[in-house]
Amino acid sequence: MSDYEERVIRVDSAVEGSSEKPHNCEAILRDANFVIPPSHEQLRSGVFLNSTKPVKYWVDEKNSNCFMLFPRKLSITWSDDPNYWTWVPNKESPNETIEAVELKNVCWLDITGNFDIKNLTPGITYEVVFKVKLEDPAYGWEIPVNTKLVLPNGRAQEQKVSLKDKPRYQWFDIRVGQFKAEDNSTGEITFSMYEHEAGVWKKGLFLKGVAIRPKQNN
């Protein structure tokens, strides 16, 4: 039996107990970092795609695909310089630790990522969300940050978001935009959060990652 056939069998067992396989589940799990086949319960909790853990994949209660891109998967200006950003461990689950990134001090905030939408569940409206928190001493957030989502057809969604009055020491969402996944959707979305026109130095932001998930009403 080939390695590919073994993986297909593993994927079949991964969704045992669900009424329908998640969209493109077999193709997605070819890159999954697992030693034994994940159960459907594990898919609900999430599996990391490849050994460096830059992306997490899970399915929600409606069997829709969800993804989290962790900071190592993103382009963050000056993130390789510890004077500006510091990489810190963050407990993703009782048994899994991922890298978050802490903003030490910058006046040029620029975080960008992209994602191929072919593995999103057709018919579902998705939202793109930065997962962040602020810890004191945090400053420079009196100037709103800019967010931007560019869809494969080139259409862009842009807004300004104020972090000035956000609570400290707890993760919160910055929603970038939304779109509906269609049958045979192809291409990449590009998303960003930035502020570099005011020249104001900023500190105290932690970035956990970017979630691409079915739109939530809250």
pLDDT recorded at residue 53: 72
Least confident of 27-41, 67-81, 156-170: 27-41
Residue written as token pair 């990134």? 101
pLDDT recorded at residue 16: 46
pLDDT recorded at residue 33: 62
Choice between 52 and 149, residue whose per-residue pLDDT is larger? 149
To the nearest whole percent, how much of the chain has pLDDT over 90? 70
Residue range 10-37: average pLDDT?
A: 68
Q: Kindly give the residue spans of alpha helices, DSSP state H, lying in 15-93.
A: 25-29, 40-45
State the pLDDT confidence band at 37, using cuts at 50, 70 and 90.
low
CATH class belonging to 70-214: mainly beta
To the nearest whole percent, how much of the chain has pLDDT over 70? 87
pLDDT recorded at residue 95: 81
Decide: 114 and 188 in contact? Cβ < 8 Å: yes
Q: How many CB atoms lie within 10 A of CB 173?
A: 13
Q: Any idea what DSSP says for residue 60?
A: -
Residue ranges per structural domain of the chain: 3-63, 70-214
d(C-alpha 132, C-alpha 210), whole Å: 9
Tokens of 52: 């460096």
Residue range 64-80: average pLDDT?
A: 96
Least confident of 30-34, 96-100, 148-152, 190-194: 30-34
d(C-alpha 106, C-alpha 130), whole Å: 18
> What residue type is assigned to position 202 of the chain?
K
pLDDT higher than 50, residue 3: no
State the pLDDT confidence band at 27, using cuts at 50, 70 and 90.
confident
If you average pLDDT over every residue of the chain, what do you get? 89
pLDDT recorded at residue 30: 80
The pTM (predicted TM-score) of the whole model is 0.88
Decide: 62 and 18 in contact? Cβ < 8 Å: no
Mind listing the pLDDT tens digit for each residue in 111-136? Answer: 999 999 999 999 999 999 999 999 99
Choice between 48 and 192, residue whose per-residue pLDDT is larger? 192
pLDDT higher than 60, residue 63: yes
Q: Which of 145, 156, 143 has the alpha carbon at shortest distance from 191?
A: 156
Choice between 197 and 178, residue whose per-residue pLDDT is larger? 178
